[in-house]
Amino acid sequence: MRVGCHVSIRHGYWEAARTADAIGAGCFQFFGKNPRSLRIKQFDVRDAENCRAYCQEKGIQSIIHTSYPVNLCTEEPELRQLTMDTLLNDLEIAEACGSLGVVVHFGQYKGDDVLSGYQLMIELLNRILRCWNGRAKLLIENNAGQGSRMGTTLEELTQVRSLLDEPHKTGFCLDTCHAFASGMWRGDDWEQVAEKMRRHDYFSSLVAVHLNDSLYPSGSFRDRHASIGEGEIGSAAFATFLRTPELQDVPLVLETPGKRTGGHPEEIAYVHSLANEWQG
């Protein structure tokens, strides 16, 4: 089972990969560029290629998280173009670094007609995917339920993907805190949630997991992450989650505060111990 965490690219992509390896991570996530901007990054291709080669040598997988301002449901023409350009730039960086894909949040529509939001999202994703032919995928992440409550159900996630012109160029990233906050998962009902995912053929397109506990209760629609076992979801629920057969080859990336005494290395080891309780 590959468990890792988010890593800084302050010293480049290659150094981020080496940092992940040094702390015992089997996978990692990073921002391809400034997470607060939609600007295009002219990245160092050699650095990205070194990252790719290092990850291949060490057997480490990676994913990129796109910038915070990205919203697939925006109506403004100029912002839609900027969003398209920045996501294509992220995909280019992901391809160069050998990453599995680029995580993008399910859109949030601010108007009254939510159906228009879905249409805007599908239209923009189709435009982006028509321009992309690499191996890296756009990975749609479920929302916690803030704002319009879009992107909080398996039905929405799988239906939107099925309506895309080229769904094979996309996949899913499951955020456990978001699933809990939205009420998709109550914590004590993972077997039922997993069975529903099988019925909706969700697992076949699941590429990555954001493994996060939650500071707030299920159904709170509040997106605040906690360290594994130190939030409202709890260790027992995560132990059940980790024994899911479909998750054994999916990278599990911590986006937690890292406040344990040993930081993320200790938390990675703790997740492995939870998984081993069921495997042993």
* CA dihedral over 123, 134, 8, 185, signed as positive or negative: positive
What is the pLDDT confidence band of residue 191, given thresholds at 50, 70 and 90?
A: very high
Tens-digit pLDDT profile for residues 75-100: 999 999 999 999 999 999 999 999 99
Cβ neighbours of residue 264 closer than 8 Å, sequence gap 6 or more: 5, 23, 25, 254, 256, 258
- CA 185 to chain CA centroid, nearest Å: 17
Q: Give me the pLDDT at residue 265, please.
A: 96
Q: Give me the pLDDT at residue 218, please.
A: 98
Report if pTM > 0.95. Answer: yes
Q: From residue 138, give the alpha-carbon distance in Å to each of 29, 166, 225.
A: 14, 11, 23
Instruction: Provide the CATH number for the domain around residue 129.
Output: 3.20.20.150
Cβ neighbours of residue 259 closer than 8 Å, sequence gap 6 or more: 227
Longest dimension (CA), the chain: 55
What is the pLDDT confidence band of residue 36, given thresholds at 50, 70 and 90?
A: very high
- Residue 190's domain spans which residues? 3-279
Tens-digit pLDDT profile for residues 218-245: 999 999 999 999 999 999 999 999 999 9
What is the pLDDT confidence band of residue 278, given thresholds at 50, 70 and 90?
A: low
Structural domain count of the chain: 1
- Across the range 30-40, mean pLDDT stands at 97
- N residues, the chain: 280
What is the pLDDT confidence band of residue 280, given thresholds at 50, 70 and 90?
A: very low
- Across the range 18-44, mean pLDDT stands at 97
Alpha helices, H only, the chain: 13-22, 45-58, 77-97, 114-130, 154-162, 176-182, 190-199, 235-242, 263-279
